[in-house]
Amino acid sequence: MKRYFIIAGAAILIALAAFAFGRYSAPERIKEVEKIKVVEVEKKQQNEKKDVVTVITKKPDGTSVTTVTDKTVVDTKTDTDTVATSEKTREVTYRRPQWKLTGMAGFDTDTSDFTSVKPIYGAAVERRLLGPIFVGAWGLSNRTFGVSVALEF
């Protein structure tokens, strides 16, 4: 029976490690977006031309009549230009941490008497070793120290 629990525990650890390595090996999610905006710009141009016509008419009695005609011609031109503007965006959505810092708090209970409960404080620091595997060290205020191995998934 003891051998069965060891084999089952080892199989679970191997499955968790395979899942963690598979998730770690996924690439950083990069999303690139390029937007092109086309705008039509309309330009109007007006030209004014003035034509002045002077007509002098002589009557048989010797008098002359002068008639001035002012003729204004407005010429309008419309031009349309197309302007394209582009905007590129690159977004990285996932970056894996390299360090972990943990604060710990708990209680130290004396095994013979549960009335004497002392608070214990500690800290742990871990560094990424390979893929999703972290190694680290920890220490408690009751002078207990150790090393740790962690798996990120």
For the beta carbon of residue 109, count every other beta carbon within 10 angstroms.
Answer: 13
pTM, two decimals, is 0.43
Distance CA 96, CA 129 (A): 12
Query: What is the distance, to the nearest Å, from the Cα of residue 94 to the centroid of all Cα atoms in its chain?
Result: 10
Residue pLDDT, tens place only, 80-121: 777 777 777 777 666 677 888 888 988 877 666 666 778 889
What tokens were used for 85? 């503007």
